[in-house]
Amino acid sequence: LAKTTQPISMDSYEGQEVNITCSHNNIATNDYITWYQQFPSQGPRFIIQGYKTKVTNEVASLFIPADRKSSTLSLPRVSLSDTAVYYCLVGDRNNAGNMLTFGGGTRLMVKP
């Protein structure tokens, strides 16, 4: 199973750029990297997904180096509403399904 390691928590201030790095040393050739966001009392919500280099959408950017053993989620100019838990997942397959393993996530606290 591909495992991920992320910081347990991070603090930031409104307007700053936040970078959350995830390590996934055992990533497989066909695996993609996916990030989810979870607010209290809600289910996780997809943010961004990538395979290599850089991916950008309206919410975030994802940077993946050539060896793919880590990835960095970048949130530009965070606001208080970005306070949430962020999960890094690596696609992991078994014989019949598509199981994604959630780790403990990174709890981001954005302060005014």
Q: Which residues are near another protein by CB under 8 A?
A: 30-32, 34, 41-46, 49, 87, 91, 93-94, 96-105
- Which tokens belong to 54? 């850089």
Q: CB-based contacts of 109: which residues, under 8 Å, 6+ apart?
A: 9, 10, 11, 12, 83
Give 58's contacts (C-beta < 8 A, 6+ positions apart). Answer: none
Nearer Cβ to another protein, position 5 or 16? 5
The tokens of 33 are what?
Answer: 């990297």
How far apart, in whole angstroms, are the C-alpha atoms of residue 22 and residue 20? 7
Question: Shortest gap between Cβ of 19 and another protein (angstroms)?
Answer: 21
Rank residues 8 and 112 by Cβ distance to another protein and give the closer one: 8
- Smaller CB distance to another protein: residue 62 or 105? 105
Shortest distance, position 22 Cβ to another protein, whole Å:
13
- Separation of alpha carbons 69 and 67, rounded Å: 5
Q: For the CB of residue 25, give the shortest distance to another protein in the complex, in Å.
A: 17
Select 75 or 89, whichever has its Cβ closest to another protein: 89
